[in-house]
Amino acid sequence: MVIGILSIVLNTNAQKKEIKITIEQLSQNIYMLTGQGGNIGVFKNEKGIFIIDNQFARLSDRILSKLKTISDKTVTMAINTHYHGDHTGGNENIATKGATIFAQKNVRSRMEGIQKEKGKITPSSLPVITFNEGLQLYFKDENISAFHVHNAHTDGDAIIYFTKGNVLHMGDTFFNNRYPYIDLKSGGSIKGYIKAVEKALLIANDDTKIIPGHGKLASKNDLDEFLKMLTKLTNAIQKEINSGKSENEIIKNTGLTAEYDAKGFGNGFINPERIRKTIYTSLTNSEK
Ligand SMILES: [Zn+2]
């Protein structure tokens, strides 16, 4: 009871605390916007503003007014890297103001599924252009490739690359310096996740600016380190499984993640125990 009251007080205080919206220029026309939820990529172009992800509905007004500081134009195009609410919550707000939203087809079907379950369909919040494997967008001074990676963070992830600006937005296939959340119930898997990161590393070079779904702006080195972490943990846990260790033994074995726990990877949303459990579950429950 006491704890209950305490948590209500803490929550109220947290809500009162103003979320800070920041925008950082990465190249001539490309920016990274942060607030609360997934990092937003911004591309200023001859037609208007194109954004990658859009955080929560309650932040839309503040995000849009922050965008006014870099351009008078409106948001005309938006892509969702995947369906989670901290990346797509502003869809309806920006769509009703004229943005065309696109995403991998599973993003739309998952959002539709959730809305049907809740008995409230809001068509304007759904992507109106969907693709299976990928999409190319051509602007006057920029070419953009969006490509689908399979069964990584979810079953609908897209990674977006700006060819000329040399900026890569990874969505939630990259948590910079953090253990990742892998949504196994939405088609994510550790093996697909590793493949997605490997694919991104083929595109990136030493000058590429990498926007992670969560965490600070990153370089190829950071992504390399993240891949090493994923591979080491996965190999170590697979070895334990092969030697007949139980789920509980693996989840409780702090040694499996100690090297990266010490580097702070477990200080975010996913703690060391949770990442051990996720990798174990993914390795034993699917052939993906
Ligand atoms: Zn996510």
Residue percentage of the chain with pLDDT more than 70: 93
Write out pLDDT tens, residues 6-49.
444 445 445 557 899 999 999 999 999 999 999 999 999 999 99
**Confidence band for 288, pLDDT divided at 50, 70 and 90:** very low
pLDDT at 2: 42
Instruction: State the distance from the centre of ligand 1 to the C-alpha of 155, rounded, in angstroms.
Output: 11
Instruction: State the distance from the centre of ligand 1 to the C-alpha of 209, rounded, in angstroms.
Output: 20
Instruction: State the distance from the centre of ligand 1 to the C-alpha of 69, rounded, in angstroms.
Output: 28
Instruction: State the distance from the centre of ligand 1 to the C-alpha of 86, rounded, in angstroms.
Output: 7
Query: What is the phi-psi region of residue 186: left when phi exceeds 0, alpha when psi lies from -120 to 50, beta otherwise?
Result: alpha
Instruction: State the distance from the centre of ligand 1 to the C-alpha of 238, rounded, in angstroms.
Output: 25
Instruction: State the distance from the centre of ligand 1 to the C-alpha of 283, rounded, in angstroms.
Output: 20
Average pLDDT, the chain: 94
**pTM of the full predicted structure?**
0.93
Which residues surround the ion ligand 1 when the cut-off is CB under 5 Å?
84, 172
Q: Where exactly are the structural domains of the chain? A: 5-220
Token pair 């996720």: residue: 278
Instruction: State the distance from the centre of ligand 1 to the C-alpha of 268, rounded, in angstroms.
Output: 14
Please determine, looking at this structure, whether the domain spanning 5-220 carries the CATH number 3.60.15.10.
yes
**Confidence band for 286, pLDDT divided at 50, 70 and 90:** low
Instruction: State the distance from the centre of ligand 1 to the C-alpha of 206, rounded, in angstroms.
Output: 26
Can you read off the two tokens belonging to residue 243? 């030697």
Instruction: State the distance from the centre of ligand 1 to the C-alpha of 263, rounded, in angstroms.
Output: 23
First CA to last CA across the chain, in angstroms?
Answer: 44
Write out pLDDT tens, residues 97-151.
999 999 999 999 999 999 999 999 999 999 999 999 999 999 999 999 999 999 9
Write out pLDDT tens, residues 75-102.
999 999 999 999 999 999 999 999 999 9
Instruction: State the distance from the centre of ligand 1 to the C-alpha of 85, rounded, in angstroms.
Output: 8
